[in-house]
Structure 1
Amino acid sequence: MIQILQYRLTAGAVAALMLLLTSPAFAQKERWWRVELLIFSHESAQSEEQWDPTPNLAYPSAARFLVEPGLIEDNLAQHHADSMVDEFGRQILTILPQPDSSESPQINDNGAPDPAQSVTDIPRDPNTVAITIVEKIDEQATGQGALVPTPFIVLPSAQLEFRGKAAYMQRSGKYRTLFHQTWVQPVADQASALPIILDRSGNSGQWPPLQGSIKLYLSRYLHLETNLWLNTPGDYLPGVWRMPPPPLGPPSLIIEALPEPELELGALSGDWASAIEQPSSLPEGVEEVPLSEEDLGPVYPYRHAILLQQERRMRSTEVHYIDHPMLGVVAKLTPLTAAELEAMAQAERDREAAQAQ
């Protein structure tokens, strides 16, 4: 049974509650791991490698995103909208009409605004937001009554095991951290597992230094596949040649505006209707100026991209390193027991209950 409920929650609880939760069958069949992934570039790399001038760079046709609570809150703070996160980690904002400031709130007998008239539009305090949650009754209960936490949510940075090492590497000036996150998830077989897109270029319309995806799946062993590329200034290339820009990723933020009312031409007077129906034309003797490259969209600010496409068999609890002349990938997968999953899920529920009060 699915219920659509309206809650007014503190911002810290938004992301955990917006994600569609796993079904009982899903929780029973899949084994869960805690994942930590660190990706960095070698800033002083002097490689003699001959890189493919036009590598095949592409995002997977089906994929998902990690859910970053801070990013969810920032997106919602910029729009007057209802928010939800779908099963692929995409945030969907439905823009709401702006409240009519000309309408005065109804006053109760005490001379104060009627709370029933204002609660839907005005949060109780600046740190609260209104969201729509798709809540599944007993959504996390398996047949044995076990609980599982919400998967694919980025955990606080204090829980990063490699945090100190990554900070040391960054301070050395020899490395630059491009991605460092930890989360929990079930790991499916190769056919069912979805790649995780790591960048948000589909939202910004700009090319970040690191783009691409990773895929975790389980066969006889755990496997990590990388489909990552590093955008570079191409100092190793001769001349001024530059490769065509790589694709931007699919969006993880979808904004759905309310439909605009259609304008009926019949309601306009003759001159206005004719102006709308007829295409615009330039005055005689004036030539149309073609659009410049900047006018056609964002310009790829790099010259080249280097692809890191590998598959690595992994062992639980071991730190694995994928070496590359320009990039480094450090990954660790720690298996989670049923007791650990239940403790994490219960802590999540307790936080949600406390913040909802």
Structure 2
Amino acid sequence: MLAKFATSLAAIIALTQPFNAHAESWFEVEVFIFERQSNSLEQWPDLSAPNKNKQLIDILTPEISTDITGVAIGLSGCDSSDWAVDTSSCNDPKVSNSTKSYPSLLPFTIAPKTPKKAYIGESAVLLAEHQGQFKQLIKTLTREGNIQGIVHLTWQQNMQSRRQAKAIRVIGGRDFSKQFSYHGQQVNQSQPSATADMLSDYSALGSFSAPAPVMPVWELDGSINIYLSHYLYIETDVFLRKVSQKLMDPSHGEVVGFNSQGPAQKVMTPFLQSIPLQQNRRVRSGEIHYFDHPQMGIVMQIRKMTQPTQVKPIVISAPVPQAVEQPSIDPYQQLEQEMQQDAQQKLTPQIKPYEG
């Protein structure tokens, strides 16, 4: 029954795909972002960190994070395939409110271990490392002593108009969350232990009462938006975080005591500065483009690719055949039945053949 349903559904989708496929325009994108190792004295505007509420396509977090919900509550959590086939279970708060663990330093090349491909009607797909073409270019650039690679990515996406396009989130480098908040303020060193105590106290109250987990504060964070408007356009909104100092009020974010007299004197305080690289440029496919900045650089190429011709396979779990439970027999009862059968055979008269 399930097999017939899957075949029928796939046939219906296949009939509707030629119209959608004609409207899609897939390209392959490769990006190399690096930091310049220089003691620049240039002052940067006091900009806030990247907007967390921005609607982005995140193809990197599922690759670099580890779901540790099962360690905490004895469940395995849900991955993308689980959501596709078992939505009701994944909507369970114990499962959907998963706890993730992140590395303190992201790998230079973020990529899946196995090759990936694009499907009609699907979102952007992150490609494996060997599917990229920047290996020699990166070697050449990093020979310069003042260039330190941060992240290398390759993905495929369907290009849309500026109104419909969604930017791809880009992250890289180290995690500063133990030293600084998302907006750059220094974290009180006594806070981690207090947070741990709170988590212990709230653990018995369920996921709805527990405090929100601390999210990573990546050295590189932002987005790259590519859209079509007669030509291809690249819109970068990337921030490089660097430890610096800022003149701040020491009582900022803290309760001022009753004995304090007048405003507190500002002092130089460690601060995580966010340096922006924000540009919008019209480009041509196939060409290598360089976005320059005193503190960093972005090398990008948008390549034409073979358009996807298949829809994503539908994963339907076949029902597990259940063993038929045999009725249990008491061994003493079985022995008694065998003895009765033997006695009956002895009482039955044996008819011998006639011997004439």
TM-score, normalising length from structure 1?
A: 0.50
Return the index of the structure with the highest Cα Rg. 2
Asked which structure has the greater RCO (Cα within 8 Å, sep 6+), the reply is 1
TM-score, normalising length from structure 2?
A: 0.50
